[in-house]
Chains A and B, each alone.
Chain A
């Protein structure tokens, strides 16, 4: 073949290769693994009821633990390899171009580690023994508690990024704040939804006006306000600064709101993992919870990084369109 008549190949942009065959294969494997763990779990419960023994093969029992160890090792290797490469200093991350390059390298590996840990965490959550008092319903805690932690962590990150943007006017800080808000709102909604699903069998109602539920609901409204304020302003720079002011206003008020709502009503169980005198939760439930919390944190980091990349690309597109409109035909080279 001469090759001249071949149609010119159009290369997919680098962004698309991130969800390439490897990750798709991995996702399929993860779905199978979760399905397998769930089915094994139910077989085990049936066996346990029939002859007092779950009847699991011993080495299969330890698969999630092996996955956690592999995941953490992978994360460790990721961090070490970044430290070793020459363009990886944190200060470089403040510049969009090195950020795009670095996050492009990190993100696929981070996504793999996250998928591994979430798969392991879900398998461990299904494998954990049912709670003495709450039975199977307590299992929703493994989603609910990490989501609730992250709903607050996301707001903290938004507020820190906003302060950075207001003080140093650094565009990447604004990108970070903008990217974190919808993710935080989603985690908050997830915490509220899983909480009310848990509340129906436990408290007898999907929603009660308990202090913690109320303050998380108010946090959700603060997120909605941030999104609405950004949408109401066309100019991205002004929208970013207005949202930054509002998120700092919210950050100052959140402790006060939390205090006032606690004063108002308390029904939710008090904090049981991080408290003086050690956790009050049994290790059999605590370890899956911690694995899930770690996996969700990685998930947040990966989603945030991806959203920041998308936002940077969007701004570059807008800048290119602006140049094109202003510069007429010549700007086609840009």
Chain B
């Protein structure tokens, strides 16, 4: 348990002191959100109607594009080999990476989401629902993305391959995440519960797939 916490702490410290990965993901998120009105036109009613969808899609893209750096740097300097040879099971290494990804990428993205929502003229009552849905769902997103990153570790064109492999698996998160904004009675509670279920399932299952992929990638 101590080793597990130490590993998370190490990743958090690295992210805090380097800072570049977090900043890049944030910048990507804001640019992706800002570029969509340029394509759709400045109609504020339209934008406020589709704002939750745009925010979720931009969020998922930022999460996918930022996740491979997590394993990549450790692989390049050889510390991932040392970690896998060490006492900690590969499942827990993968889980710690996903948790670190959630804390260092998803949480900052959630924090700037109100600002991004402002750009899209999101309705004030929709914003708390969106933030709750993001908090509930993105843990699972980080774990699924972690498994994908472990699978494409060190591959040619890995950066392009990862979204192709992982985005189809994000469909349920996107559907329930945007579904939470629906105005019908009970839609919010239902969607949030389903998002929690998805996240719990991903936390429970994805580290095993990621560990298999990690052991394979380091052979």
Q: A residues touching B (Cβ–Cβ < 8 Å)?
A: 166, 218, 221-222, 224-225, 228-229, 232-233, 238, 241-242, 245-246, 248-250, 252-253, 256-257, 259-261, 263-264
Contacts and interface: CB of A to CB of B under 8 A. Distances in A.
Nearest to A220: B168
Contact of B164 (A221, A242, A264): A221
Interface stretch (B1-9, B70-78, B113-121, B150-158): B150-158
Given A238-B219, A241-B216, A252-B205, A246 B172 contact: no
Given A246-B165, A256-B198, 17 more contacts: A218-B168, A225-B164, A225-B165, A225-B168, A228-B161, A229-B152, A241-B212, A245-B209, A245-B213, A249-B147, A249-B169, A252-B205, A256-B201, A260-B171, A260-B176, A260-B194, A264-B175
Contacts of A218: 168, 171
The 9 closest A-B pairs by CB, nearest first: A260-B172, A225-B165, A221-B168, A260-B175, A232-B155, A264-B175, A218-B168, A257-B171, A256-B172
A192 to B, nearest CB: 15
B179 interface: yes
Nearest to B147: A249
Interface in B80-119: none
B216 A245 contact: yes
Contacts of B176: 260, 263
Contacts of B151: 229, 242, 245-246
B156 to A, nearest CB: 6
A261 B168 contact: no
A247 to B, nearest CB: 11
Given A229-B161, A260-B175, A242 B168 contact: no
Contact of B209 (A224, A248, A259): A248
Interface of B: 147, 151-152, 155-158, 161, 164-165, 167-169, 171-172, 175-176, 179, 194, 198, 201, 205, 209, 212-213, 216, 219
Contacts of A233: 155
A261 B209 CA distance: 24
Contacts of A253: 169, 172
B47 to A, nearest CB: 21
Contacts of B155: 232-233
Nearest to A240: B216
A152 to B, nearest CB: 15
5 contacts: A232-B161, A245-B209, A246-B151, A250-B168, A250-B169
Contact of A228 (B164, B167, B179, B219): B164
Contacts of A248: 209
Contacts of B212: 166, 241, 245
Give the most central of A166, A222, A259, A263: most B CB within 10 Å: A263
B205 to A, nearest CB: 6
Contacts of A249: 147, 169, 209
A232 B216 contact: no
B157 A232 contact: yes
Nearest to B198: A256
Contacts of B205: 252
A322 to B, nearest CB: 19
A263 B172 CA distance: 10
Contacts of B152: 229, 232
B196 to A, nearest CB: 14
Contacts of B156: 232
A246 B168 CA distance: 12
Nearest to B197: A256
A36 to B, nearest CB: 44
A242 B213 contact: yes
A218 B212 CA distance: 24
A120 B13 CA distance: 69
A253 B166 CA distance: 11
Contacts of B179: 263-264
B158 A222 contact: no
A229 B152 CA distance: 8
Contacts of A241: 212, 216
A230 to B, nearest CB: 11
Contacts of B198: 256
A245 B219 CA distance: 15
Contacts of A263: 175-176, 179
A107 to B, nearest CB: 33
Contact of B171 (A166, A238, A261): A261
